[in-house]
């Protein structure tokens, strides 16, 4: 049922923005941003459930919480980067959008250093 609400909000807002854009482009952009943030809100509840499931799986299999936190940070960076990038693309600022994506990619690499280090250490221990 929630999926239908999201689709309807998206379609109705798209029609409104299409009608308003030629007369009030600034208001249309604000409407795009507000709608995007509102639709992003629908992700929060399922995302919380996924996080709880991942935590229970990690604790059940006794996997280091460092990996879980790193995965959560990477997913969060990816979602926020995508949201910011798409909003700036909607505003017609593709150059800023590409910079946001670059910062997101570098941030993901930086956050994943502990996992990369663990992988390298494991490989070194496996080699004779």
**What pLDDT, on a 0 to 100 scale, did the predictor assign at position 77?**
96
**What pLDDT, on a 0 to 100 scale, did the predictor assign at position 55?**
85
Cα pseudo-dihedral 26, 32, 35, 39, rounded to 10: -160
- Buried residues in 60-98 as b, exposed as e (16+ CB within 10 A): eeeeeeeebebbbebeebeeebebbbebbebeeeeeebe
Residues 42-54: what's their mean pLDDT? Answer: 86
pLDDT over 70 percentage in the chain: 100
Q: How far is CA 127 from the centre of its chain?
A: 37
The per-residue pLDDT of the chain, averaged, comes to 90
Residue, of 112 and 41, whose pLDDT is higher: 112
- Separation of alpha carbons 100 and 28, rounded Å: 22
Q: Is the distance from CB of 70 to CB of 111 less than 8 angstroms?
A: yes
**What pLDDT, on a 0 to 100 scale, did the predictor assign at position 60?**
87
């Amino acid at each position: 049922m929630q999926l239908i609400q999201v689709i309807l909000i998206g379609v109705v807002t798209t029609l409104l923005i299409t009608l308003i854009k030629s007369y009030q482009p600034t208001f249309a952009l604000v409407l795009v941003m507000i709608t995007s943030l509102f639709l992003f809100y629908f992700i929060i509840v399922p995302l919380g459930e996924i996080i709880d499931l991942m935590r229970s799986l990690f604790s059940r299999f006794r996997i280091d919480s460092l990996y879980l936190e790193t995965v959560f940070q990477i997913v969060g960076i990816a979602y926020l980067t995508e949201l910011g990038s798409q909003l700036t693309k909607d505003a017609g600022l593709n150059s800023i959008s590409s910079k946001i994506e670059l910062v997101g990619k570098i941030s993901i690499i930086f956050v994943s250093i502990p996992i990369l280090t663990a992988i390298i250490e494991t490989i070194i221990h496996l080699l004779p």
